[in-house]
């Protein structure tokens, strides 16, 4: 369980998160939704200690993020952000290999190579392993970065907007893979999603943020209602049940 307690965060005086308290259940997929500027990415950054915690506390399986050694935390929690500033010209295989860093610190052992193989295989990257990242399509790139997070072999996998820039086909394929991981009980996945329908279709738990506060949370079927979503996004949103799942109609 990731326990967030009284978390507040300000950037340049502007409040991003205000006294946020919530629990993210272990196992399955948790989707964080909310309008732009609700503090979703900031929450992810604080949970993964990419940002220093200003006020409040975050615990990952009982380990306080602020006080646990960053090397130890890297074996419990992996984060994949929207990739920025890779200075090296990397091959896919090398990138995924770097996911093993927390375990070997520069001296890979046989079990590290095996873990990289598994991650490459899980994301169907074996044929692409020799290709350079800048030769790949957006979807392949995204897969390679998530495979790196997977190779880290942590209990928790945090994905910040993994579906960004993916078309319907690739977004679905990626979600199916992530879902498979969470079902096998290997990873607990927390992800920021913009398209509510993906959250409705794949997530086990939905957390909605608005203006840096918790708006609602719960199982998609229970909380993704027309009233709640309309209030969350400040517009009229219809929700119909299609094929047993809540389906969001933003044009209603």
Partner 1 sequence: MSDRRLIALGLALIAACAFFLFWGLKGPAGFILELRAVKLASLLLVGAAVGVSTVVFQTVTGNRILTPSIMGFDSLFLLVQSLMVLTMGGLGYAMTGGPAKFLLDTALMMAASLALFSLLMGRGRGDLHRMILVGVIFGLFFRSMTAFVLRLIDPSEFAVVQQVMFASFGAVDTTQLAMAAALFVPVFALLWRLAPSLDIVALGRDSAVGLGLRHDRLATVLLLLVSALVAVSTALVGPVSFLGLLVAALAHQLMQTPCHALLLPAAAMIAGLVLVIGQGVFERVLGLQSTLAVIIEFFGGLLFLYLVLGGRRR
In whole angstroms, the minimum distance from the beta carbon of 107 to partner 1 comes to 8
Please tell me whether residue 50 binds partner 1 under the rule CB under 8 A: yes
Long-range contacts of 164-168 (CB under 8 A, 24+ apart): 164/82, 164/194, 165/138, 166/138, 166/139, 166/142, 167/139
In whole angstroms, the minimum distance from the beta carbon of 242 to partner 1 comes to 37
Please tell me whether residue 46 binds partner 1 under the rule CB under 8 A: no
Task: Enumerate residues 120-139 that contact partner 1 by CB under 8 A.
Answer: 134
Please tell me whether residue 84 binds partner 1 under the rule CB under 8 A: yes
Among the residue ranges 15-23, 91-99, 179-187, 223-231, the one whose residues contact partner 1 (CB under 8 A):
91-99
In whole angstroms, the minimum distance from the beta carbon of 91 to partner 1 comes to 8
Please tell me whether residue 70 binds partner 1 under the rule CB under 8 A: yes
CA distance 115 to 132: 20
| CB-count exposure of residue 139 (10 Å: 0-12, 13-18, 19+) | middle
- Do residues 140 and 167 touch, judged by C-beta distance below 8 A? no
- In the complex with partner 1, the residue whose CB is nearer, 189 or 196, is 189
Pairing mode, strands 205-210 and 29-33: parallel
β-pair partners for 210: 213
CA distance 224 to 248: 8
In whole angstroms, the minimum distance from the beta carbon of 90 to partner 1 comes to 5
CA distance 19 to 54: 11
Please tell me whether residue 167 binds partner 1 under the rule CB under 8 A: no
Please tell me whether residue 93 binds partner 1 under the rule CB under 8 A: no
Single out the residue of 30, 81, 182, 188 in contact with partner 1 (rule: CB under 8 A): 81
Among the residue ranges 32-40, 66-74, 222-230, 239-247, the one whose residues contact partner 1 (CB under 8 A):
66-74
Among the residue ranges 25-33, 102-110, 161-169, 197-205, the one whose residues contact partner 1 (CB under 8 A):
102-110
Pairing mode, strands 213-218 and 205-210: antiparallel
Sign of the Cα pseudo-torsion (186, 190, 194, 200, in order) = positive
Long-range contacts of 172-177 (CB under 8 A, 24+ apart): 173/139, 174/139, 174/142, 174/143, 174/146, 175/201, 175/202, 177/122, 177/123, 177/124, 177/143
Count, residues near partner 1 per rule CB under 8 A: 34
Single out the residue of 99, 212, 220, 246 in contact with partner 1 (rule: CB under 8 A): 99
Please tell me whether residue 89 binds partner 1 under the rule CB under 8 A: yes
Query: 211 phi and psi, to 5 degrees?
Result: 50, 40
In whole angstroms, the minimum distance from the beta carbon of 175 to partner 1 comes to 21
In whole angstroms, the minimum distance from the beta carbon of 28 to partner 1 comes to 21
Point out which residues bind partner 1 (CB under 8 A).
48-50, 70-75, 78-81, 83-90, 94-95, 98-99, 101-102, 105-107, 134, 148-149, 152
């Amino acid at each position: 369980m990731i326990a967030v307690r009284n978390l507040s965060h300000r950037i340049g005086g502007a409040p991003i998160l205000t006294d946020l308290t919530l629990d993210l259940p272990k196992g399955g997929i948790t989707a964080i939704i909310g309008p732009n500027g609700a503090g979703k990415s900031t929450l992810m950054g604080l949970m993964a200690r990419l940002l220093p915690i200003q006020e409040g506390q975050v615990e990952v399986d009982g380990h306080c993020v602020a006080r646990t050694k960053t090397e130890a935390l890297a074996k419990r929690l992996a984060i994949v952000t929207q990739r920025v500033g890779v200075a090296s010209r990397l091959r896919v295989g090398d990138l995924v290999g770097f996911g093993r860093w927390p375990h070997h610190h520069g001296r890979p052992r046989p079990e590290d190579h095996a873990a990289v193989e598994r991650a490459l295989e899980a994301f169907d990257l074996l044929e692409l392993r020799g290709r350079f990242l800048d030769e790949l399509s957006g979807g392949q790139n995204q897969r390679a970065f998530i495979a790196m997070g997977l190779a880290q072999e942590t209990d928790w996998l945090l994905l910040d907007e993994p579906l960004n820039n993916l078309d319907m086909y690739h977004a679905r394929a990626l979600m199916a893979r992530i879902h498979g991981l969470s079902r096998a009980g290997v990873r607990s996945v927390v992800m920021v999603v913009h398209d509510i329908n993906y959250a409705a279709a794949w997530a086990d738990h939905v957390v909605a943020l608005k203006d840096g506060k918790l708006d609602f949370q719960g199982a998609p079927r229970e909380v993704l209602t027309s009233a709640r979503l309309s209030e969350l996004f400040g517009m009229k949103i219809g929700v119909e049940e299609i094929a047993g799942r809540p389906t969001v109609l933003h044009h209603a």
